[in-house]
Amino acid sequence: MRVTLLGTGDTTGTPTPDCDCDTCRAARERDVERTRFSVHVEDEASGDTLLLDFSPDFRYQFLREDDAGLPDAGVVSHIHFDHLDGLGNAYRLFDDLPVYAADEADPVTGESVAETVASKYDYLDNVHPRAVTPLEPFEAAGFEVTLVPVDHPPLLCYGVVVERDGATLALSGDTTFDIPEASRAAMRDPDLLLADGIVPAHLADYHPKGGRHPDADGVPRTFGTKHMTKEGALALGDDLDADQTRVVHAAHYYPVEEAFADDIAVDGEVFEL
């Protein structure tokens, strides 16, 4: 299983437009990017391909990573625009694109993620939303996939587990450290964990809600109310016994001396599982 990180950034990406912070300047100088989030999975033997989340940077990402073929199917973790709005690129690119999303009704929106995909993209007759039940494995493009509930208030959000031929990819989704135990069980022992770590823990003081879910040393593993810190992401990897953990969904608020550490992913990284 070949995993390509198409987009590893948060909602504004790095570099952020019209930003002259040290981190954005350094990203330009290093010619590295963290565009909006998306992950490409391929079974090289069969050529089957699966896309996890549809970044608004979809077109650019697939032009840049020309070894990553267009997907046979997709999965949507939640309805925030930086994970969903790239689906509009399906126009004239696909004959038939199944898109899998959760069937649970969100108390905030009154509809499930699958229903939101169906209603928002009803003008795309080549996109076929498929409602699936969280924690129940299903097949997508030849991969065994499981949606796992995570904690990203106020909306429902899901991590993703992808398995094929003994290899396992786990994706935390946008989440705090407070991932339900049933979801952690489904995510356990991955070959690769991609974990949301939007900023380092020492920046939690700058959030109006501060940091939450401290470890034994008082280090916050959640930043505010919606995302993990880098420390939380790495702790999740330890808790799940991940063979390898990469921090994704990173913001340009990382101080420049920390922003390009080895454990924080950048676009274009490829993993063979």
Q: What is the mean pLDDT of residues 30-58?
A: 97
Query: pLDDT value at position 77?
Result: 98
Query: pLDDT value at position 25?
Result: 98
Is residue 17 helix, strand or coil?
coil
B/e letters for 95-109, b = 16+ CB within 10 Å, e = fewer, are eebbbbbbbbebeee
Which band of pLDDT confidence, cut at 50, 70 and 90, is reported for residue 161? very high
Residue with tokens 């509930």: 149
Which band of pLDDT confidence, cut at 50, 70 and 90, is reported for residue 212? very high
Mean pLDDT over the full length of the chain? 97
Bridge partner list, 264? 247
Query: pLDDT value at position 135?
Result: 98
What digits encode the pLDDT tens for the residues 221-257? 999 999 999 999 999 999 999 999 999 999 999 999 9
Determine how many CB atoms are found less than 10 A away from the CB of residue 123.
8
Return the percentage of the chain with pLDDT > 90, whole number. Answer: 99
Q: How many residues comprise the chain?
A: 273
Query: pLDDT value at position 130?
Result: 98
φ/ψ of 109, rounded to 5, equals: -90, -20
Domains belonging to the chain, first-starting first, are 2-272 (3.60.15.10)
Predicted TM-score (pTM) of this structure: 0.97
Which band of pLDDT confidence, cut at 50, 70 and 90, is reported for residue 134? very high
Q: What is the mean pLDDT of residues 256-271?
A: 97
B/e letters for 245-271, b = 16+ CB within 10 Å, e = fewer, are bbbbbbbbbbeeeebbeeebbbbbeeb
Query: pLDDT value at position 143?
Result: 98
Which band of pLDDT confidence, cut at 50, 70 and 90, is reported for residue 202? very high
Which residues contact residue 186 at a Cβ distance below 8 angstroms, ignoring those fewer than 6 apart?
Answer: 135, 146, 148, 161
What digits encode the pLDDT tens for the residues 56-83? 999 999 999 999 999 999 999 999 999 9
What digits encode the pLDDT tens for the residues 170-181? 999 899 999 999
